[in-house]
Amino acid sequence: MAELSQAHVLIIATDGFEQAELFEPRKALLDAGVKVTLAAPKMDPIQGMEHDQKGQTITPDMTLDTVDTEDYTALLLPGGVANPDALRMDDRAVEIVEEFADDGKLIAAICHAPWLLIEADVVDGRRMTSWPSLRTDLANAGADVVDEEVVRDGPFITSRKPDDIPAFNKAILQALQEDLDDQEADQEDTADA
């Protein structure tokens, strides 16, 4: 079984992220030994929200324009309303989602974050969930929308809201482990060939 410490997850966010949806998955990943990097449009601290109240801030590790998606195993997209709404207007943020999707890498999006998946045009034919107000947008973009705590369809994991975070975190860690185990098995097969 591969070690989760071999995984490297990129989180992209900006002001207005839902605090629990960034901090709790980030902590679960770090606690499991996963390397985590936070990228934002600028290096200034970004403002979290607890629903409609300002929460904690966090300082990004790097800017979006310095991200090389080849360096990462998976992408995590926290929600909040303002955060994904701003990021879907950021060309580099959308490109990052497209690059992860093109490479078949794991993308986990919660709450309003599927807006970025819609903008990157990667939801057509995929089974997904989101915050209720996005479901029509997802359906219009071709997704098969369901109301479930966590949904995994290939490399995509989606969840609805902060209450779903425990299931969301579990699904991400499980998917990372499966991906790493598959890679390890492929390397062993290549070595044996």
Distances 36 to 6, 119, 160, 162 between C-alpha atoms, Å: 11, 24, 22, 20
SS3 track for the chain? CCCHHHCEEEEECCCCEEHHHHHHHHHHHHHCCCEEEEEECCCCCEEEEECCEEEEEECCCEEHHHCCHHHCCEEEECCCCHHHHHHCCCHHHHHHHHHHHHCCCEEEEECCCHHHHHHCCCCCCCEECCCHHHHHHHHHCCCEECCCCEEEECCEEEECCHHHHHHHHHHHHHHHHHHHHHHHHHHHHHHHC
Catalytic residue among 7, 29, 93, 112: 112
φ/ψ of residue 10, rounded to 5: -95, 130
Catalytic residue status for 112: yes
Catalytic residue among 93, 111, 116, 150: 111
Would you state the structure tokens that stand for residue 52, as one six-digit string? 């409609």
Could you list the active site residues? 111-112
